[in-house]
Amino acid sequence: MTTEPFRATLPDPLPVPSTPFGRVLDAALRDAFAASPVFAGFAGFHATDGLWGDPSEGGRAHRLALLDTHEAALRALQDDRLSADERIDRDYLLELMAQQRFGELELREAAWDPLSIVSTLGSGFFLLLSREYAPWSDRGAAFLSRVQGVPAYLEGVLTALTGLPERAVSLLHLETALRQLPGVPELIDSGIAEARSRAAAGDAPELVAPLEAAAADAKAALDRLATALDTEVRGRASGEGRLGPDLFARKLRHTLGSDLTPDALLERAWADHRATRAEMLRLARELWTGWVSGEPMPQVAPGDDAGERALVSRVLDAIADEHQQAGDLITWCQAEVARIEAFCRERDVIGLADEPLSIVWTPLFLRAYGGAFLDAPGPLDKGQSSHFFITPPDADATPETIESYLREDNDRMLSLLCIHEGVPGHYLQLAWSNRAPSLVRTIFSNGMFAEGWAVYVEQVLLDLGYGADDPALLLTHWKFYLRAITNTILDIETHARGMSEEVAMDLMVRQAFQEENEARAKWLRARITATQLCTYYVGAVEMFDLETEARRRAAAAVGADPASVPERRIGPGPGETPGFRYREHLEAVIAHGTPPIRWVRRILADAAPTSPRS
């Protein structure tokens, strides 16, 4: 599939390489961006904003050939010609190439996952409309080019969507794609409205007529896609998208960047599940009198699992009564992020960001993936807004379902979400990441680092006193952390052990205190993704380990006994450590981009003082 690339008039954002590694990296990045134009745009490289990429078998072969070429060039670099940072970047890039090769050769999602089509289309259009990284004449021309390219792109993806000998097209992904697909023509209509509005002000009026004409062809192609998915493709869609134990284990190895097996991870997750439940029981007993008026606290014998669950659930139910109405979620979160930022300034927790943050409803094409998440600008875009997406309750949902949604994301859970997605979570961390000098560690962000950081800083802020006058926030926090642990159990059990819906719902609702609406959405997410749900818990554990190591180094540097620093556990924080300051540690962790955590561990250990200060 060949199309003349759209060429933006923006300056080339990639720096001129000046070292052997820099020249190899520059060539690899340019080829990667050309092969994956939507990814390139989100990284901030906009020269190919008008393209979709080549979904054909020839395109896959080309991408594999590029991996061969650039991997050979990286391996040919001699260590003594690389700086310490370049050695880390080279090794990380080689890991990324191995992960991409796994995707192209083994996972092969384009052959069995129709939902990825909707995600690519929606993301490709949304980027061009959501950030003003270039004049409308450039972005509008790119939007027009992408609209014009829809029919050919869809023809290519349908040709590829045949299933594999060992993996049929996923019926679950197909049905989810059909539900999300209307979000794509909505984005095309938004682009037309934007073009008309701009034209009325004299900005690129020549784009309107061809865009309207191309939109008709694109929508007709989308209708054909929907029909084909619902008929021809449905006829061969007998899969559910579960990877099975072997493929899941291989993908998990790439996701986590370690040889930790699913069985070993599951054992650790269940141990922390029990510890977190015990901490929640302790807190619920303390809160009972203030939250459950007129009812005596039940006496629960040790080991009475049902009694413990009932006691904790009763307190959580009372806390969940305090929630916003659906239309007020965005306004409330805007105010809460401001309150968190004020706390961080007052306590000197961490340096804040000046980059703009918008809190908005999740676009329709993304709503299958989660209730709240953060979309940050790429490192090659400067000064652009991050989007904190909040998924509203389904407008067609029953009143009971909407109430379940709002009770799960009650006021205290929303506060934790604002920490996780906003400050000092994803928004702040990615703003810091985008300032880092390493292109590899900023463009190719590691999901376990990002999610682990966001879970970890929830605990940090509470340890430092955020919400100290509201013990119900602490209990809700441990429920949120239990959700991260449960995500890991759900992920492994779903893909590697064939978990049923009944068992999954019991795990989430009965054993992890989640509202049914939240649990049903997570059950869908667990089946349409794989290994991503493990990143929250595993990343957080590694972030807590980084803190413990930093505390011990800080103690040793001032002559204190590092062995006096305890291992981090479920429950109250570790307290003061001689020589350790949270701001120094937090900023040191996020100053190096978003690489796998083990690389940050190496950087921090190499930079640490090794003798007591005078």
Residue-level pLDDT at 7: 58
Least confident range from 9-13, 207-211, 581-585: namely 9-13
Residue 190: what residue type?
S
Residue-level pLDDT at 613: 43
Q: In what order do the strands lie in the sheet with 372-375?
A: 357-361, 386-390, 372-375
* Three-point CA angle 487, 269, 582, nearest 5°: 90
pLDDT category at 178 given cuts 50, 70, 90 is very high
Pick the more confident residue, 363 or 275.
275
Residue-level pLDDT at 315: 98
Residue-level pLDDT at 6: 57
Residue-level pLDDT at 614: 36
Pick the more confident residue, 6 or 330.
330
Pick the more confident residue, 195 or 6.
195
> Where is 360: in which H helix or E strand?
strand 357-361
pTM reported for the whole predicted model: 0.95
Residue-level pLDDT at 556: 96
Q: How far apart are CA 422 and CA 358, in angstroms?
A: 10
Least confident range from 262-276, 319-333, 390-404: namely 390-404
Residue 365 DSSP symbol: G
Stretch 253-271: mean pLDDT, rounded? 95
Name the residue among 105, 248, 242 with its Cα closest to residue 171: 242
Count of residues in the chain: 614
Identify whether the C-beta of residue 240 lies closer than 8 Å to the C-beta of residue 527.
Answer: yes
Residue ranges of the domains in the chain? 243-295+305-330+396-614
Residue-level pLDDT at 609: 65
Residue-level pLDDT at 382: 85
Stretch 269-292: mean pLDDT, rounded? 97
Please determine, for residue 610, whether its predicted confidence score (pLDDT) is greater than 80: no
Residue-level pLDDT at 2: 38
What is the SS3 string spanning 216-280?
HHHHHHHHHHHHHHHHHHHHHCCECCCCCHHHHHHHHHHHHCCCCCHHHHHHHHHHHHHHHHHHH
Please determine, for residue 608, whether its predicted confidence score (pLDDT) is greater than 80: no
| pLDDT tens, position by position, 489-545 | 999 999 999 999 999 999 999 999 999 989 999 999 999 999 999 999 999 999 999
Please determine, for residue 5, whether its predicted confidence score (pLDDT) is greater than 50: no
| pLDDT tens, position by position, 128-160 | 999 999 999 999 999 999 999 999 999 999 999
584 token code pair: 């120094």
Residue-level pLDDT at 3: 41
Stretch 69-81: mean pLDDT, rounded? 97
